[in-house]
Every structure is written in C-alpha cells, then in structure tokens.
Amino acid sequence: MPRLGDPAPEFTAVTTQGDITFPADYAGRWVILFSHPSDFTPVCTSEFMTFAVMQDEFALYNTDLVGLSVDGLYSHIAWLRTIEQKITYRGHSNVKVTFPLIDDHTMEVAMKYGMIMPGEGGSSTVRAVFIIDPKGVIRTIIYYPLSTGRNFPELLRVIKALQTADEFQVATPADWIPGEPVIMPLPGSCGTAKERMDGAAEEKLTCQDWFFCTKELSEAEIDSRLQVKSVETLVG
C-alpha cells in the first residue's frame, strides 16, 4: 500500500471516458482517485451522484475526479445510464457522470493502491480516497467502511487546505475552513522565535506563545490565488 509522500503508483486503464495513463495524463492537476465497492449499490450510487454534482466545484480548484471498482466496463456504463435515467438523490436527478470510472476487473489497480481489504469487503474495493498533487505525489489517504458514505464537503475542504498550505506556506488548524486564521510555520531557532514574538504586531500575527502564531487569511484571497492557478493550468 502506498504511503503519504510516495509517488502515485502508475497504471494504464480502460475507463468509461476512454483509456488513461495515470498519473501522467493528469500532470499539473490535482486528482481525487477513489474506489467504490460495487456498481448498482445504493451507497455508491449516492456517492457518484454527489461527486458528479460537485465536479465543477472541484474543478475550480484544479482538481479532477477518477473513480474505480472491480466491476467491468459494461457494468459501469449500464449503472451510470441507470443513475442518469432513474435515480433522484437530495433533489438531484438526470445526473450525468462525466468523469472516468476505471474498469479494474483484474484488480491490478486496486492491489497497487491497497483498496481491497478482505476483512471488510471480501474481493470488493472499499471506499478509499487518494488525493494526488500536480507532481503525482500522494498527499492524503482516507478510508471509509462499506456501510458509510463519504463526506464530500470534507473532501473539498481537504483540497482547499492542501492547496492553501502549499500556496501560502502555512498550516491549517483543527476544523479549519477557508477564511479562518492559518498557522505560521514553527521558528527554526531560539533567535528566530524571539524575533517572531517581538515582531508579531508588525507582521500582523497573533502569537499566544512562540510556537503558536496565527495569521488572518481571507477566503477571498485564498480563492483568488487558487482559482487563478486553476485557470492558468487549464489555459496552459
């Protein structure tokens, strides 16, 4: 199973949107690679509809979606057509899934990413989430059991938090959402710790102690930087 900071394992695959070479085809973009246990199941259906409804919102943050299960291509196509034609969830109907869904009936990709846990789902993939950055590095790994659907606002929040940390060289505290104060990096020495405390007001920092300093960062400033980067990536 890959770990945080590892390069995303490479693979080529057939999907509902054509063949892909991963992660090379997504260079320069963030990706949420996620697995679901099986087609034609209710929890998975609710998740795919939610991802499809939020796809444009993820795209604002330069993030693509790629799904996977061990079902075959024709099962995927039939299931996605059923979702579009028959299923309503949280007021959404006629939902068309346009992001790729990988045919992994050989389990090759699932095994590379540690998506199969026999104690939880036999030979089915569990609800795994891998967030991969524009350099093809794994930045977040989240697993959910078969009975529990994913929290999609949290997945979007994690994308925003990772990109905010990278763009502004900060960290994000517990329960952070864009617009709340961010945490400044720790000082590297006793001297810089003292300088930080002495210059906190001038740098507009709020320091409760040398190791705990925060700074205001508005949601508008975050969005202006991150979404401009997204547009530049698309244009480029």
Q: Write a three-state SS string for the chain.
A: CCCCCCECCCEEEEEECEEEEECHHHCCCEEEEEECCCCCCHHHHHHHHHHHHHHHHHHCCCEEEEEEECCCHHHHHHHHHHHHHHCCECCECCCCCCCCEEECCCCHHHHHCCCECHHHHCCCECEEEEEECCCCEEEEEEEECCCCCCCHHHHHHHHHHHHHHHHHCCECCCCCCECECEECCCCCCHHHHHHHHHCCCCCCEEEEECCEEEECCCHHHHHHHHHHHHHHHHHC
Q: pLDDT band at residue 122, thresholds of 50, 70 and 90? A: low
Q: CA–CA separation, 89 vs 136, rounded Å?
A: 33
Q: Is 127 annotated as a binding residue?
A: yes
**Mean of the per-residue pLDDT values for the chain?**
91
Predicted local distance difference test score (pLDDT) of residue 218: 95
Which pairing describes strands 212-215 and 205-209: parallel, antiparallel, or unpaired? Answer: antiparallel
Predicted local distance difference test score (pLDDT) of residue 199: 72
Task: Confirm whether 44 is a catalytic residue.
Answer: yes
Instruction: Calculate mean pLDDT across residues 78-102.
Output: 97
Q: CA–CA separation, 15 vs 66, rounded Å?
A: 9
Q: Using alpha carbons, list the distances in angstroms from residue 100 to 3, 65, 86, 163.
A: 24, 7, 20, 23
Reply yes or no on whether the pLDDT at 121 is more than 80: no
Instruction: Calculate mean pLDDT across residues 147-155.
Output: 95
Instruction: Calculate mean pLDDT across residues 43-55.
Output: 96
Reply yes or no on whether the pLDDT at 228 is more than 90: no
Q: Using alpha carbons, list the distances in angstroms from residue 135 to 22, 140, 193.
A: 12, 14, 33
Q: Which pTM value belongs to this model? A: 0.92
Reply yes or no on whether the pLDDT at 231 is more than 90: no
Q: pLDDT band at residue 96, thresholds of 50, 70 and 90? A: very high
Question: In the block, which residue shows the tokens 């102690």?
Answer: 209
Q: Which residue is catalytic, options 44, 190, 207, 213?
A: 44
pLDDT (tens digit per residue) in 15-46: 999 999 999 999 999 999 999 999 999 999 99
Q: CA–CA separation, 225 vs 115, rounded Å?
A: 34
Q: CA–CA separation, 55 vs 53, rounded Å?
A: 6
Q: pLDDT band at residue 233, thresholds of 50, 70 and 90? A: low
Sorted by where each starts, the structural domains of the chain and their CATH numbers stand as 11-150 (3.40.30.10), 163-235 (3.30.1020.10)
Best CA proximity match to 234, nearest among 101, 98, 129, 134: 134
* Residue with the larger pLDDT of the pair 145 and 19: 19
For residue 209, report the phi and psi dihedrals to the nearest 5 degrees.
-160, 175
